[in-house]
Structures are given as C-alpha cells and as structure tokens.
Chain A
Amino acid sequence: MTFLNTIVTTVALSAALYLVGPAVSAQRAAGPAAAPPAGDDPARKPTPRLRDGHPDLNGFWAIGRGPDTPVGSSFGERNAFIKRGDARNAAAQYADPNQPPYKPELMPKVEELAKNESKVDTAFFCKPGGVPRIGPPHGIVQAPGMPIVLLYEVIAGNTFRLVPTDGRGHTANLEGLYYGDSIGRWEGDTLVVETVGFNDETWIGIYGWLHSTKMRVIERLSRVGDTLRYQATVEDPDVFTRPWTMNAWTSVRTTKELILENPPCVESDIDHVTSFDEKTRR
C-alpha cells in the first residue's frame, strides 16, 4: 500500500465513521462477529524462554489491538486475533479519557498543530515517526551478548532500534535523534526500555501531540504466550504537567509474515491530499 493510498483510505474511513456515527463505533467496539475458539487464543499459549531465563521475544509481532494506529504502519492484518488498532476519528480520540497532560498554556498550540496536520506533521513528509509514535516493534531479534533489536515496517522507510541490556548507561552527548538512545533492563519478565536524546520534530501522536528535546520515553514489553503487550510512558517536563502513560497495545506473534519494504515515500504525494485535516474536526 502506498503512502498516498494510506492517507486516502484513512480519510475515507474517518469520513465514513464521522458520518455514520455512534452505530459504527458500537459495532467496532463489539469486535469481530465470529470470535475464534478460545483454545486458539494466543495469550494462552506457553511463554518460551531463552537460556538466560528471560522470555524469548524473538519473532514477528503483528500489530494488534490498541488505541490508535501507529504512524505509517500496516504490519499484520490477516488473523482473527490481529485486529488492527483503529485509526480513530477525532470524536473517538477526543472522547478517550486518557488524554496527554499538556500544560494549559500549550493547549492552543497543540490544537493549532492538529488542525494543520497535513501541512506541519513531519510524518506526512517522509520523516521518521519517532518514539513512541512508531508504536510496538514488528520484529524482535534477541541474541546472547548483543543488544535486543527492534524492527519496524514503516512507510517512511523501515527502521530499527538497538536496545543494549548489559547494564550500561545512556551514551553521553547524544541528541537530536528521531529514535533516541535506548537502554534496556529486565524487571521480572518485562523488558523496560528507556530512551532519551530526541529531537523535537516528531509528535507523540497524530493530534498535534508535540514534545520537547527533554522527552524521556519508558516502554514496557512483555510476552504473554504468543502475544506481546506494549505500553509507553512519556515524561516531558517542558510540555506535560505529569508523566503520561499511553494506552497499551497487544500484538500477536506471527510466523507467516516477515517485514516488507514499502515503496519509497514520496513527499510530493501530500500535495494531492486536501481533506486529511477533516478528521481533526470536533
């Protein structure tokens, strides 16, 4: 799927939802009509471990159920347990009680950015989505003595992150990064990834959710059977009044899919999109 198609689809979807309103929302909340047998529930499968005793995160993780679709991602859509997170319309998003705790004086700016997303959101101009907007990893590689590798299929160009878990601290003097400098540690069976060193070009989410270079992101990944639970907490004293824990995601392990490469992101496509900001109307 091309970048433009994704946008157009999103616009169409958003517009349709917006017009049809509550009935559709109710249906979507109810989930798929024919639920698979409970015995197939990947969360009930055993959780394999590596020799070091930590859960084995290796594999491909199809984007599953979550609050919002990560930027530019379409990985994993072919399984009853892999119902993608919905690209919400504005009404649904703003109705979520878990809103980012922006300082009151910044709210007008956030709203202004949201209204002009197609013009100012760098993710729509082929720039990297950044952390945590990129969402849960689509692939994880975990090898002894090496950093844990998080792989992402994204429209702006597939990317990866390295998470050393050998107890080292952050690399000194790193700044201005899209994906930051990450270090990881195990808290029981949960991999905790702490990331700093960001630029302030990216957003946390599509609704004008800006952040500063002081942002610190804590991501928690835990494998439960053949599912991967992912939750991010964002700390940013320059823009937030308190740390913000975003809604959790559940991805599902998939053996059928490997990460694909999208066609090159062409930022001139954006000129043809005129109605994307419709979705931010309340």
Chain B
Amino acid sequence: MKNTYLASVLIAAASIAAASIALMSGTPAAAQSASGSAPGTPANAKPIPRMADGHPDMSGVWWPGHDLIPAQASAVYREGERQGIGAQSFGSLYKPDAMAKAKALSDKDDPALWCIPSIIGPTPLVGNGLVGEIVQTPKTVVQLIETYHGFRIIPTDGRPHRDDVVPSNHGDAVGRWDGDTLIVDVTNFSDRNWLHHHGDVSFHSDALHMVETYRLADADTLEINVTADDPQMLTGTWKAPTVKLVRAPFEHIMETSCENTETANLIEAASKDNYGRKAR
C-alpha cells in the first residue's frame, strides 16, 4: 500500500463532513444503519420502490453504511482493502510501460489533491467521499456526489453518446434498463484524473471505456458493478469489486467543495510532516 498520510488528511476532511452530517441530521447514524440492511440480517422484505413506468426507483441518499471519525481515518484504508481496491485495483492490470510509470508515482501525485475528482473512488456514486444521492426521473438518472460536489447526468431516454463534446473527468454517460438493472455506458474521458482515490495510482488513457450496472438488491441496498477497458493501458478488462451501498440515515447530502488553495495548504502541511514518514 502506498504511503497514506496525504490521503488520510483528505479523508479526515471528508470524515469531518460525514460526521457533521450525521450530527446535523439529528439521528444517530449507527442506530439507523443498524436497523437497515446490516450484514447478516435477513433479506429486506420491503418491496423495491418503482417509478410509474415500472423501473426500479433508485432515488435516495446512499452510503457504505458506516460513519467515520478523523481519529479512525486509517480505517478507510482497511475498508478500501476490504472492498478490494488496492490489490485488485485498476493499476494491477497495467501493461509493462504503464506499470513502470505507476511505480514512479505515489499518492502525492493523485490529481484528486488538486480537486480533480476520481472517476470511481470506491464506487462511482460516491466518488472521492462516502455519500452519493440519486434523483431519478423517467428520462434521466442524476447522480449527485457529495465530496467535491459534482454530479453526473445519465440520460435513459435512448439517446446515444454525444459526439460534440470535449473529453471530461466523468466522461459521457448514457443509460438503459435491462430488466431491473440500470446499465450505464461511459466513454469520452479525459486522461487527467485517476480511477481510484486515496493515492491509489490508477491513471488511464482517453481510450477508457466503462460499463456500470446498478441494481437494487433489496429496497435498501444498491449493488454497483463496474468493468473498465483501456486498451492503451491495460492487459485485459478490469472488473471492480462489487460495492453495496445502503440508504443513508440522513435525508440529503451536503455542500462539500474542494478548493485548490486548501489543497495546497494540506500538501504543504503534509510535506512539513515528511508525508507521514518517520524521520530518519
């Protein structure tokens, strides 16, 4: 695992935000998530919510089902590893040239430090943080990402990819329904950002193509799978570990913006602390 200090600083910031949300929601987060679909409990018997058109309605606030406090920031790493990011990361499939380049990079090179959002983080809906919100209409699924305060517009009205736009950090997404599963095809990425967060080296080329699937495993559990192809960088198709998110115990997500100046301060602070490495 890469050096963790810088990422921890950012995680701490995100954690403060997450903790604040939980506090401000007025409902103990732990109590709520425990009453939801905690691991090991029987499948949720509630019916899956549906739109008037019959498709599953994924609207709501989603998160991994647990909160964080700054003192436990390193736990995020363990969580990330539990989710499989790390050993099974995008970069594990790099071709030799890309692998050599990756070895020369570390968490301080993570574009997320300059407020450029990761494509996936642990999973696309939450990006660089822990919380995401879906607002769904018959023609569009909009994903609101709390950390860095970004959004993705996923049209589901059958329109094709746009051919008139410049490459972007989140790419160009179009969605379609296959039964109760939402399939999102994403192309036209810039090559600026990384797929993962927390300094997990995961650069990509503009040939990246991703397919994301979203399925309500039960009324309160959203299951997300991602596959990615990048013929310029990877030896084969990368499959992200399945991520399950549950409904968050707070009603809506918050304003958590990323600003270059703050990031610069964090980097400066981290460098003064030798990026968390012990002095020789």
Q: Is the CB of A178 within 8 A of B257?
A: yes
B192 to chain A: which residues have CB within 8 Å?
264
Q: Is the CB of A264 within 8 A of B116?
A: yes
B205 within 8 A of A: no
CB distance from B16 to the nearest CB of A (A): 13
Most chain A CB within 10 A, of B137, B153, B252, B255, is at B255
Q: What is the size, in residues, of chain A's interface with B at 8 Å between Cβ atoms? A: 36
Q: What is the size, in residues, of chain B's interface with A at 8 Å between Cβ atoms? A: 36
C-alpha spacing A172/B261, complex, angstroms: 28
Is chain B's binding surface mostly helix, strand, loop or mixed?
A: loop
- Mark B119-161 against chain A: 1 for CB-CB distance below 8 A, else 0: 0000000000000010111011010100011110101000000
Q: Is the CB of A160 within 8 A of B136?
A: no
Q: Is the CB of B257 within 8 A of A143?
A: no
- Total of A-B residue pairs, C-beta within 8 Å: 84
B135 to chain A: which residues have CB within 8 Å?
141, 143, 146-147, 149
B115 within 8 A of A: yes
Q: Is the CB of B151 within 8 A of A265?
A: no
Closest 9 CB pairs of A and B: A261-B168, A160-B151, A146-B135, A177-B255, A141-B142, A141-B135, A143-B137, A143-B135, A162-B252
Q: Is the CB of A157 within 8 A of B148?
A: yes
B114 to chain A: which residues have CB within 8 Å?
264
| 21 CB < 8 A contacts A-B | A58-B137, A126-B260, A141-B142, A142-B137, A143-B137, A146-B135, A151-B151, A158-B150, A159-B149, A159-B150, A162-B133, A162-B144, A162-B252, A162-B253, A178-B255, A258-B155, A263-B166, A263-B190, A264-B115, A265-B260, A266-B260
A53 within 8 A of B: no
CB distance from B170 to the nearest CB of A (A): 6
Q: Is the CB of A179 within 8 A of B162?
A: no
A261 to chain B: which residues have CB within 8 Å?
168-170
- Mark A152-190 against chain B: 1 for CB-CB distance below 8 A, else 0: 000001111010100000011110011100000000000
B24 within 8 A of A: yes
A145 within 8 A of B: yes
C-alpha spacing A147/B144, complex, angstroms: 12
Q: Is the CB of B24 within 8 A of A141?
A: no
